[in-house]
Structure 1
Amino acid sequence: MSIQAIIQGKKEWRAHVARVKALPKDYQIVYRELQKYLFKVGPVELTAGTGLLSGIVDLFEEGAASGKGVLEVTGRDVAAFCDELIKDSKTYADLYQASIVQEGHKAMNKNTDQTK
């Protein structure tokens, strides 16, 4: 990754954080909880520029502009809202599980080869 890409990424992240800080307080609180949840669950595409987090901020900005409360936008079960957002996304957990399966297959093949 070039230094220019790092600098550009930091600029995008700062702009993203500024958008979050401009939201009403209730939206900011729910956004932080969503962000924590998503960081733990680990969707691979979670960038600020054009990723999931920016989409959430877009949705929250629209909801706030129309006078809706944040739970009117997300529903009362915020974790379920997150799960729905990432249901078709590849997560780091998925990648890890795939690597475990692959290692298991390698080990089985190695054992099979040794018993011949």
Structure 2
Amino acid sequence: MTIQDIIEGKKEWRAHVARVKALPQDYQIVYKEIQKYLFKVGPAQLTEGTALLSGIVDLFEEGATLGKGVLEVTGSNVAAFCDDLIKDSVTDHKTK
């Protein structure tokens, strides 16, 4: 990874964070909880996780544009929503 890659990655992350901050408050709250959850048990490959987070923002932006509440988009069980998103991904999470 070069310095240029790091700089580019930071620019992309800042743009991603700006998109999240532009969402309605309820969407931001749920997004942050999803992000925490995915950072704990989500895809092991960072690039896969980043694409996943961007996809969630896309979904949330669409839901907000349509005037839907965030739980109309995710369903009432947000953890199950997350699990469904990562069910086919390789994770670092170990089951007992």
Do both share a fold (TM > 0.5)? yes
Larger radius of gyration: 1
Matching residue of 1:46: 49
Tell me how far apart the structure 2 counterparts of residues 91 and 64 of structure 1 sit (CA, whole Å). 30
Task: State the partner residue of 1:5.
Answer: 5
How many residues align? The count is: 92
Q: What percentage of residue pairs aligned between the two structures are identical? A: 79
Residue in 1 that maps onto 2:28 = 28
Confirm whether residue 55 of structure 1 aligns to residue 58 of structure 2: no
Aligned to 2:16: 16
Instruction: For structure 1, list consecutive stretches of 5 or more residues without a partner in the other structure.
Output: 98-116
Partner of 1:74: 74
Q: d(CA) in 1 for partners of 2:27 and 2:42?
A: 22
1:43 Cα offset (Å): 1.1
Structure 2-normalised TM-score? 0.92
* Bigger relative CO (Cα 8 Å, ≥ 6 apart): 2
Structure 1 residue 92: deviation in Å? 1.7
TM-score (norm 1): 0.76
Partner Cα separation in structure 2 for residue 81 and residue 75 of structure 1: 7
Mark the runs of 5 or more structure 2 residues left unpaired by the alignment. Answer: none
